[in-house]
Amino acid sequence: MRRGNAEPMTARAAPHDFLSSSGGQIVPHGIYDVCDNTGYLTLGISKDTSAFVCDNLLAWWQERLQYKYPDAETILLLCDGGGANASAHYIVKEDLSKLAKSLNMNILSDRRCGCSLPALLL
């Protein structure tokens, strides 16, 4: 990874994520804006939870999307259906509902699309 003109950073990584053989874990979560062909990636250090997903969506909305799509009334999420996005987990629906209310927007999610990343359509 490079930051500006800095030298490349390197890190050793094990091929598996067994906690017994590591000093911690990294949980990646990405959101892809299909309309603009851009993505947003967050690396967490705890768990892949629906709160983590919603926090990432809120951060991306506040940092960028609210300016890019000022007239948006609805967000359509196309999710892979695994991990924190699992459709069987009621907490995902509850957290997305809270996020929608806080943004004063509609959030629709489809967890059957087979996408590898949550995709965002505004």
In a domain, 67, yes or no: yes
In a domain, 72, yes or no: yes
User: Is there a contact between 44 and 27 (Cβ–Cβ < 8 Å)?
Assistant: yes
Q: Can you tell me the distance from the alpha carbon of 58 to that of 26, in angstroms, rounded to the nearest whole number?
A: 20
Instruction: Tell me the whole-structure pTM to 2 decimals.
Output: 0.70
Per-residue model confidence as pLDDT tens digits over 20-76: 666 677 788 888 888 888 888 888 877 777 888 888 899 999 999 999 999 999 998
In a domain, 6, yes or no: no
Q: Which domain holds residue 94?
A: 24-121
Domain count for the chain: 1
In a domain, 33, yes or no: yes
In a domain, 50, yes or no: yes
In a domain, 8, yes or no: no
In a domain, 59, yes or no: yes
In a domain, 52, yes or no: yes
Per-residue model confidence as pLDDT tens digits over 97-106: 999 999 999 9
- Which pLDDT does position 116 carry in this prediction? 47
Q: Which helix (H) or strand (E) is 27 found in, with range? A: strand 27-33
